[in-house]
A and B are shown apart, each in its own frame.
Chain A
Amino acid sequence: MSLETPLHKAQGLGPSHSGVGHFWTQRVTAVALVPLAVWFAVSALGLVGAREASVLIFLSNPLNAVLMAAFMLISLYHMTLGLQEVILDYIPHPGFKFFLMLVNWGFALAVAAACVLSLLRIAVGT
């Protein structure tokens, strides 16, 4: 039998002390993503059937590059917060849960780096 109180146990597990921040950041990113998703849909439809050269012209426009980067980075952040919620809901095993949390953040950071690198390469034309 453990002498740990239920309160102490609760404080050491899950999103204690960071729940409000998690909730609020998820809403703020959601609000930002609504207009960005509309912009993305309009842009993607405009590039249907386009050759690589036209895509480069579109993405090397600074406004489009910034909006594209914002869409990807905010999406990835929103995604990580959401997947974290799913992991915490369904994975009871502490070790596996911790592992999946690392995979979750690692995946988002890797994809974010790849997107930013690609947009920079397009911007400077290499």
Chain B
Amino acid sequence: MAEEPQRQASRPLSPFLTIYRWPITMATSIVHRMTGVALAGGVLIVAWWLWAAANGPETYNFFSDVIATPLGQIVLFGFVWSLAYHCVNGIRHLAWDLGYGFAVPTANATGMLVFALSILLTAAAFAVAWLDFGGYYR
């Protein structure tokens, strides 16, 4: 009963993800998971920053130099956007946990809002850093 023999019959398979049109809610869901996994790398950047600060000026300067390279900035951009996205969409998830925002038009609208807001926050953070509005704790 529990274990039907597995036959290699040519039975029709249920359609997989690739066959569906992608609604925004599907995209926000998988991107939430992907940014979550990416943030495991982001945590390493912050840990490296703390480790470098604790190890003296030479180690710290090496960290700053690496982050300042074009590749370093691209990785940092990915980290900051992942953090912004995961945080903003996380708030959307918490609202769902409380029972709000399940109506399809609402979920679609908040999905668009999450993408827009995360890009806006990331752009704002980099604008502040590059235009030298940051560094107020220097």
Tell whether, in the assembled complex, residue B128 and residue A45 are in contact, meaning their CB atoms are under 8 Å apart.
yes
Tell whether, in the assembled complex, residue A55 and residue B60 are in contact, meaning their CB atoms are under 8 Å apart.
yes
- One of A2, A5, A46, A107 near B135 (C-beta < 8 A): A46
- Interface-forming stretch among B9-17, B19-27, B48-56? B48-56
A93 to chain B, nearest CB (A): 17
**Docked pose: A53 CA to B33 CA in angstroms:** 37
* Chain B, interface residues (CB within 8 Å), range: 35 or more
A118 to chain B, nearest CB (A): 4
Does A122 sit at the interface, judged by CB under 8 A? yes
Tell whether, in the assembled complex, residue B138 and residue A51 are in contact, meaning their CB atoms are under 8 Å apart.
yes
Most buried by A among B2, B93, B125: B2
- One of B2, B50, B91 near A6 (C-beta < 8 A): B2
1/0 per residue A91-126: CB within 8 Å of B? 000000000000000010001001101110110000
Q: List the interface of chain B (C-beta within 8 A of A).
A: 2-3, 33, 36-37, 39-40, 43-44, 46-47, 50-51, 53-54, 56-57, 60-61, 83, 87, 90-91, 93-94, 97, 125, 128-129, 132, 134-138
